[in-house]
Amino acid sequence: MTPTATAIRLRYEPIPAAYLDQVRAAGHDEAGNALAVRVEDEGGHPLRCCLRDSQPGERDVLIAYTPPGGAGPCAERGPVFVHAEACPGYDDVGAYPPALTHRKQILRGYDIHGDMSEGVVVDGTQAERAAAELLARPDVEVVHVRNVVAGCYNFCVRRETG
């Protein structure tokens, strides 16, 4: 029996802190791009380390990142903003990041083989429901939440286990 969207507990995952520590220590991203620290003038960039928008005066870097779940032709590397230094991260992994609900989102479901199986565009206030509906499908293992205009990755959503 397939679980219903209301019965599924979700887990919202930022880019792992340990991975970002390695990138910062190496001084370059996975594509070999040197890290260039910037200071936010206005803020407003979604930070994938703590799942909120940047604030004026914060230091960040733009890195190339391949999110989990996609494979083969569906494995997409793209630009993401993260704090230049380690940050507290996002610890309320059972709740949709409230600081990102103001953004329209693309949600893409990927199957166990890393192929995209389904996608929807929703208002950020509807993204949690849409993620649950995608993950209620037996062919969806992980959901990427992305920005609408540039398609940049924000975070992934999985079924909570245990």
CB-based contact 46:57 (threshold 8 Å): no
Predicted local distance difference test score (pLDDT) of residue 49: 98
Per the DSSP assignment, residues forming a β-bridge with 63 are 80
Task: Report how far residue 92's alpha carbon sits from residue 70's, in angstroms, rounded to the nearest whole number.
Answer: 24
The vertex-106 CA angle with 104 and 110, nearest 5°, equals 155
Mean confidence (pLDDT) of the chain = 93
Q: What is the pLDDT of residue 2?
A: 45
Domain boundaries, the chain: 5-13+92-159, 17-83
At residue 162, does pLDDT exceed 70? no
